[in-house]
Structure 1
Amino acid sequence: MNKLKAMLLLGAMLCLSSCATGSSRLPYDAWYLGLLAPNYMEVWIETADAVDVHDRVFRRAMSGVAAINTPSNLKGNPRGWPNYPGAGKGKHVRGADLPRLIYVRWQSLVEPQTYEAYIPIPEATRQAMVKGERAFCSFDGKWITDYRYMLTVGLAPGGVTKTWIGGPCLPPVEVARVVGEVVKVGPSGGRSGGRYALPLEPSSKAYIEKYGVPYGSW
């Protein structure tokens, strides 16, 4: 019985140690969660939460403004998604294991409307995130072993999201396209009286007034 108790105690200690480190099996310190929006299609992220494979929730892993371009000459093209979306604006999700689910609630300021979306991350994607690949980095002219540890979520009007994984020297791979739902209580959980977080930038406002929102292009 004492031996059994000792084995159970050791197992519990190992489990606690594994849960505490979380990302110990990752070949990098932490994966990155970034968000972006098409040109002029401004958003305010109320929260972007991550759930890892141990069902631990990392709330507000990211919030605030997303990466976006708003050229003042109205020459930016908001239609579709870029071939190389980049990392987006975000943070490293430290202490987390690989992601199982991403939840995003955001304000689409050009409509205006508030959406939420649940984005599942498949097992195949998680395996790809820890697979090292030989890659040439053009910015320093070196060959390295790179990883797709950057998880980027694009947010577009109509509640459309698209998700990619990529690395600094590896091309992005599309993960999912999810159309979110309208948050009926409105922005800020209904606490703002219907007021949205930010006014549109003048260039975004001018673009929308001239060309409208290109629904159906995302």
Structure 2
Amino acid sequence: MKIQCLVLSVCVLLLSGCSEQTASEGSKPGPNSTYRSIGVVAPRHYDVWVDKFYIESLSADIGWRRPFGIVSCCWKSAPLSGAEWQTTPELFLIRWFSFAEQQSYEAVIKLENPDEIVEKMKEPAPFESFGEIAVRPRDTLVLGLAPGGTVVLWIMNRGENAIEVGRYQAKPYDYQKEGEDYTRRTETYLEREGDFLQKNGIRYDGW
């Protein structure tokens, strides 16, 4: 399917109404749990503002969204908050603003092997918890947003057992033409990370 068709599909989804994240009524995390979630992370020092995040299952004809807002720390780690897992996701539309770069990006991501990813998520993976080894499925699908528009997709329950299952490149767009203003949020960000950026610059490779 061409990218234009994917964008159109997501736009139709938006116009027809998307469901906001609600408290999951299904199973909770555990060794044999079927609990799943979707999250977004960014590298430390490189906070982003996720403006739009839409998820769609083309085969099940279901779409939903999650307004993440600010996303920070840490790369290749479990997210602090997640989007509801309604069914196997196949298509993502994500738009975000990079405070360090003062640049907005947009990515339309169509998973080529969603069923394989879901099967891998079912496999139990060990992790350390309070000095003991716990085991549970890699229940979280995580999108990492890096400088330069790099998007990395992992499955994990903790960063220590993350498996990369996809890598994509977002396209920049002019956020000012979209009527977006990040001036105040940028000022707050630079109060925390301005010294780091001045000393280290922006890292674009190695993500």
What is the TM-score when the length of structure 1 is the normalising length?
Answer: 0.68
For residues 35-50 of structure 1, what are the structure 2 equivalents within 5 Å?
35-50=40-55
3-state SS, counterpart of residue 119 of structure 1: strand
Looking at structure 2, the residues matched to 33 and 56 of structure 1 have their Cα atoms a distance apart, in angstroms, of 15
CA contact (8 A) 1:50 1:99 kept: yes
Residue matched to 1:210: 199
CA contact (8 A) 1:67 1:88 kept: no
Looking at structure 1, the residues matched to 80 and 39 of structure 2 have their Cα atoms a distance apart, in angstroms, of 5
CA contact (8 A) 2:53 2:95 kept: yes
Looking at structure 2, the residues matched to 190 and 166 of structure 1 have their Cα atoms a distance apart, in angstroms, of 34
For residues 1-218 of structure 1, what are the structure 2 equivalents within 5 Å?
28=33, 30-52=35-57, 53-59=59-65, 61-68=66-73, 85-94=76-85, 96-121=86-111, 122-123=113-114, 124-129=116-121, 131-133=122-124, 135-139=125-129, 141=132, 144=135, 146-168=136-158, 171-184=161-174, 186=175, 190-192=178-180, 194-196=181-183, 198-199=185-186, 200-218=189-207
3-state SS, counterpart of residue 97 of structure 1: coil
Looking at structure 1, the residues matched to 34 and 96 of structure 2 have their Cα atoms a distance apart, in angstroms, of 28
Alignment gaps of 5+ in structure 2: 1-25
CA contact (8 A) 1:31 1:92 kept: no
CA contact (8 A) 2:45 2:193 kept: yes
Greater gyration radius = 1
By relative contact order (CA 8 Å, sep 6+), the higher-ranking structure is 1
CA contact (8 A) 1:119 1:176 kept: no
- The 1:111–1:143 alpha-carbon spacing in structure 2 relative to 1, beyond 3 Å, is closer
- Matched to 2:107, the amino acid is A
Alpha-carbon displacement from aligned partner over 1:43-72 (angstroms, at most 9, x marks no partner): 11102221124131112x242111326xxx
Alpha-carbon displacement from aligned partner over 1:112-140 (angstroms, at most 9, x marks no partner): 011011223323212212x242x444315
Instruction: Report how far residue 107 of structure 1 moved.
Output: 0.3
- The 1:92–1:106 alpha-carbon spacing in structure 2 relative to 1, beyond 3 Å, is closer
3-state SS, counterpart of residue 191 of structure 1: coil
Number of residue-to-residue matches in the alignment: 173
Looking at structure 2, the residues matched to 62 and 29 of structure 1 have their Cα atoms a distance apart, in angstroms, of 24
Q: Which moved more, 1:207-216 or 1:37-46?
A: 207-216
CA contact (8 A) 1:159 1:179 kept: yes
Looking at structure 2, the residues matched to 178 and 44 of structure 1 have their Cα atoms a distance apart, in angstroms, of 19
Looking at structure 1, the residues matched to 33 and 110 of structure 2 have their Cα atoms a distance apart, in angstroms, of 22
Residue matched to 1:3: none
